[in-house]
Structure 1
């Protein structure tokens, strides 16, 4: 099952028909507890259970009273009380159980649950959000690595508070909205403080006077092809750049995968790659030339494929 998605809002709605939640800087997952076992699937339906052994306690029968459930939530890595996507990126791509256990001991994650879709075989998705959240709150006992965060009535106050606290933003949801798997719905509106986005790597370049990866050229998938959005170098120093180069190994191609022109100053020394790897990038928005302004690498999005970004764009346009 794919999660329901929010559209970008233009103003925070007011009134009793809306509730408002903190927008967490993490990895969206569908969590299923069946026969006392937890499985986790990413937004593109990949099984990521092995990456997060520290969340297995959620399946304890004391929490759900032996009931099977399907939940929607966000896996978050907290540093000094704030969610940090870079810390989570170290965890989300791990496919070996032993390594995952080691990382869980030094860099634990928390699962923040905000919706309930199925309960003991009953489909709750047609029910109003407010009812689903109430059942969820009654059902889930807070644990060391999971909890149900609160919802708020005043969205503007929450937006101001999250900005002051350095959080990612808020999501406003209609209390009466049904859960629509895989749909980007206007019933859920997101208001991020920090512009971040997911982009596809089309090439990499070495650092000056070395063979280390120094920057990557990224683009945005569209129906017309991969649209060039700029060169990202900040955040790729040291081990981050080496890890990304290893991930790109074996994907080099002769021709540019971009469907639009790459400026000469960016393509000099570029090593073209198959457009397969998705990155999360922070920026100050786009320049008048539609390039990322002061972009900074945050991590690899192993939970997303390039075609997922195209599907999201098509949904937004429609």
Structure 2
């Protein structure tokens, strides 16, 4: 199953037919516990099995009762707020030994906000109000069920003041629609953070293979459109991780459908447009060219087909 997705909202809805939640800056995750299992299978938004990366979160709650829930895995930064950059190191782990070590040094929390199956019963056809009532009645052990709020405007102001990512407003009558981007769920982000597809990279001046910046674009009906070059935020660890992800994916020509300025194209190593990264910038939507962009991390939980949504 793929998770239900929210649509970008313009105005926070009001009225008693809506409920509002904090928008967590983490990794979207489904947790599936078959009846009698002692471990949950954790899958990312695009269906990848991520169980090995999160040993501290995969213990089945409730004595192995049959369960399927939707939520967000978060990590807390030094300022005490959820930050995607904290979790990105753990997202890519495929070694159980490494994952166990990181679970101690980079602790994570699973924030569960929806339930789709319980004891063999499919709950996706129930309205959100009933699913939340069921969810709040469960003892999920170390998994947390964050609160919901009636006043979305207040929550949006509070999350902005606290440095949180934003809010999600959900219609209480909405059913759970797997894989659907629905207007019954509306997201409102505070940060100007965007996801882009990598189309090339440039080495650090004076080196041949030390990745120092990325050329990124946005998928469209006309192809991958160039949006800018991102170098800020790419330190040593990020450079090595990006290099490993892009290894063996070189192209002989630019994958961008439009022209890349010569100043950016000079010395660029072109790659297949498969890798998604998050970037902060001073832009507001729509983005035509990034302003003072800063690299935030790789998004292996989404694919290029998700970026324009």
Q: Note whether the superposition's TM-score is higher than 0.5.
A: yes
> Which structure is higher in helix share?
1
Query: In structure 1, which of residues 161, 167, 171 is the aligned counterpart of residue 168 of structure 2?
Result: 171
5+ unaligned residues in a row in structure 2: which ranges?
A: none
- Report how far residue 200 of structure 1 moved: 0.9
Residue in 1 that maps onto 2:95: 96
Cα 1:137–1:289 change in 2 (3 A) is: closer
Q: Give the 3-state SS of the residue equivalent to 1:147 in structure 2.
A: coil
Residue in 2 that maps onto 1:195: 192
Residue 121 of structure 2 corresponds to residue 122 of structure 1: yes
- Report how far residue 13 of structure 1 moved: 0.8
Residue in 1 that maps onto 2:145: 148
- Report how far residue 293 of structure 1 moved: 1.6
Residue in 2 that maps onto 1:71: 69
Q: Give the 3-state SS of the residue equivalent to 2:16 in structure 1.
A: coil
Residue in 1 that maps onto 2:266: 268
Cα 1:287–1:174 change in 2 (3 A) is: closer
Residue 239 of structure 2 corresponds to residue 241 of structure 1: yes
Cα 1:151–1:241 change in 2 (3 A) is: same
Query: In structure 1, which of residues 36, 41, 44 is the aligned counterpart of residue 43 of structure 2?
Result: 41
Alignment of 1:233-312 (within 5 A): 233-285=231-283, 290-309=288-307
Cα 1:236–1:49 change in 2 (3 A) is: same
> Does the aligned pair in 2 maintain the 1:142–1:148 contact within 8 Å?
no
Deviations 1:234-284 (A, max 9, x none): 111222112212221111111100111101110011111111211111112
Aligned residues: 305
> Does the aligned pair in 1 maintain the 2:199–2:256 contact within 8 Å?
yes
Compare 31-40 and 149-158 and name the one that shifted more.
31-40
Compare 205-214 and 36-45 and name the one that shifted more.
205-214
State the alpha-carbon separation in 2 of the partners of residues 286 and 242 from structure 1.
Answer: 30
Cα 1:86–1:117 change in 2 (3 A) is: same
Deviations 1:6-40 (A, max 9, x none): 11111111111111000000111111111232001
State the alpha-carbon separation in 2 of the partners of residues 230 and 55 from structure 1.
Answer: 37
Normalising by structure 1, what TM-score? 0.92
State the alpha-carbon separation in 2 of the partners of residues 101 and 222 from structure 1.
Answer: 40
State the alpha-carbon separation in 1 of the partners of residues 307 and 139 from structure 2.
Answer: 32
Cα 1:287–1:261 change in 2 (3 A) is: farther
The two structures, once aligned, show a CA RMSD in angstroms of: 1.5
- Report how far residue 308 of structure 1 moved: 3.4
- Report how far residue 224 of structure 1 moved: 1.8
Q: Give the 3-state SS of the residue equivalent to 1:135 in structure 2.
A: helix
State the alpha-carbon separation in 1 of the partners of residues 33 and 264 from structure 2.
Answer: 48
- Report how far residue 69 of structure 1 moved: 0.7
Q: Give the 3-state SS of the residue equivalent to 2:168 in structure 1.
A: strand
Cα 1:82–1:285 change in 2 (3 A) is: same
State the alpha-carbon separation in 2 of the partners of residues 83 and 287 from structure 1.
Answer: 23
Residue in 2 that maps onto 1:55: 57
State the alpha-carbon separation in 1 of the partners of residues 307 and 160 from structure 2.
Answer: 27
5+ unaligned residues in a row in structure 1: which ranges?
A: 314-318
Deviations 1:191-236 (A, max 9, x none): 1000212111111001222332110100111222111110000111
Normalising by structure 2, what TM-score? 0.95
State the alpha-carbon separation in 2 of the partners of residues 307 and 288 from structure 1.
Answer: 17
